[in-house]
Amino acid sequence: MDDRTAMEAEQQRLWNGTAGHGRVAAQHVLDDLFRPFEDLLLETVPTGLDGGLLDVGCGTGATTLAAARRGGPGLRCTGIDISAPMLDLARTRAAEEGIAAHLIRADAQDHDFGRATYRRIISRFGVMFFDDPARAFANLRSACADDGSMRFIAWRSPAENPFMTTAERAAAPLLPDLPKREAGAPGQFAFAERERVARFLAESGWSGVSIAPIDVPCAFPEAELIGYFTRLGPIAALLPQVEPGSRDAIVDAVRAGFERFVDGDMVRFTAACWMVDARA
């Protein structure tokens, strides 16, 4: 198995296993937590827009369904993701709302989208997992109409997002097998370097590229904090494998590590991200 095949297999395993099921369980928290980003993405979707919209890495469907509500009956919304459990929830939510969104289980990196009909492509934290970003964004460019545009939001560096690395730093002394993050590897911080993002977008045929830093205040109830870090992130995959007593010690250590983000009955932090716009 070559490196690319191995990376693709690992992403499939991750998002159809611990990570996918964790996000399903935490869907209500994540939807509220990341709603400010949803609003930023939908600025590019005018009310009454006709044509197609593609949501890359749509997960449990929040942004796809929000776009469909905003765009109206003339907007055909498609969400694509590799996670079966997250897409199952997205389909259930669409059915409950009576929204005719098209939800595809596939890898946007090489999926055949057919004719270039999407007038808008959006993604909320869904594009950092490609093993070959230039090839992936070239495929997305081929799916975009000539008068279309793309906006995605991705995390900046780990150093600028201490909340997002607190759990692994606090757990590291107790979990020696905790995997280390590799700079530039597929994952949460793959797009940390602005120059790298600009380079692969240029290589993949996009124009008018704007990469703007945004710092977005985020908050969720403190009562959800332990559920948040035990379902999501690097330690979630390892916790089920440790003895109950050790697990309790790890949870206590990680909860203590988050104390500086606790403000009364809320958890508050600033998300340091890139908001990236490009034209087809």
- Mean pLDDT across the chain, nearest whole number? 94
SS (H, E, C) the chain: CCHHHHHHHHHHHHHCCHHHHHHHHCHHHHHHHCHHHHHHHHCCCCCCCCEEEEEECCCCCHHHHHHHHHHCCCEEEEEEECCHHHHHHHHHHHHHHCCCCEEEECCCCCCCCCCCCEEEEEEECCCCCCCCHHHHHHHHHHHEEEEEEEEEEEECCHHHCHHHHHHHHHHHHHCCCCCCCCCCCCCCCCCCCHHHHHHHHHHCCCEEEEEEEEEEEEEEEHHHHHHHHHHCCCCCCCHHHCCHHHHHHHHHHHHHHCHHHEECCEEEEEEEEEEEEEEC
Range of the domain at 97: 3-157+182-219+272-279
Section 251-274 average pLDDT: 98
pTM recorded for the entire structure: 0.94
What was the pLDDT predicted at 2? 63
Hey, what amino acid is at 184? G
Inter-residue contact 248 to 115 (CB < 8 Å): no
Inter-residue contact 155 to 211 (CB < 8 Å): no
Instruction: Indicate whether 69 pLDDT > 70.
Output: yes
Section 134-161 average pLDDT: 96
Q: Is residue 252 assigned to a domain?
A: no
Please choose, from the candidates 136, 140, 114, 121, the residue with its C-alpha nearest in 3D space to the C-alpha of residue 75: 121
Instruction: Indicate whether 194 pLDDT > 80.
Output: yes
What was the pLDDT predicted at 3? 67
Length of the chain: 280
Section 6-31 average pLDDT: 91
What's the CATH number where 201 sits? 3.40.50.150
Instruction: Indicate whether 181 pLDDT > 90.
Output: no
Section 172-184 average pLDDT: 87
Q: Is residue 58 assigned to a domain?
A: yes
Out of 9-13, 66-70, 176-180, 270-274, give the one with best mean pLDDT.
270-274
Half-sphere exposure of 164 (CA within 13 A, CB side): 17
With cut-offs at 50, 70 and 90, classify the pLDDT of residue 117. Answer: confident
Section 77-86 average pLDDT: 97
Q: Is residue 205 assigned to a domain?
A: yes
Q: Is residue 24 assigned to a domain?
A: yes
Inter-residue contact 109 to 133 (CB < 8 Å): no
What was the pLDDT predicted at 10? 85
What was the pLDDT predicted at 169? 95
What was the pLDDT predicted at 1? 57
Residue 113 or 179, more confident: 113
Q: Is residue 195 assigned to a domain?
A: yes
Section 40-44 average pLDDT: 93
Lowest-pLDDT range, 37-51, 162-176, 183-197?
37-51
What was the pLDDT predicted at 257? 97
With cut-offs at 50, 70 and 90, classify the pLDDT of residue 199. Answer: very high
Q: Is residue 227 assigned to a domain?
A: no
Inter-residue contact 54 to 113 (CB < 8 Å): yes
* Cα–Cα separations (whole angstroms), residue 150 to 208, 211, 220, 233, 254: 10, 12, 29, 27, 37
> How much of the chain, in percent, has pLDDT values that exceed 90?
80
Q: Is residue 249 assigned to a domain?
A: no
Q: Count of domains in the chain?
A: 1
What was the pLDDT predicted at 68? 93
Q: Is residue 162 assigned to a domain?
A: no
**Token pair recorded at residue 173:** 């002394």
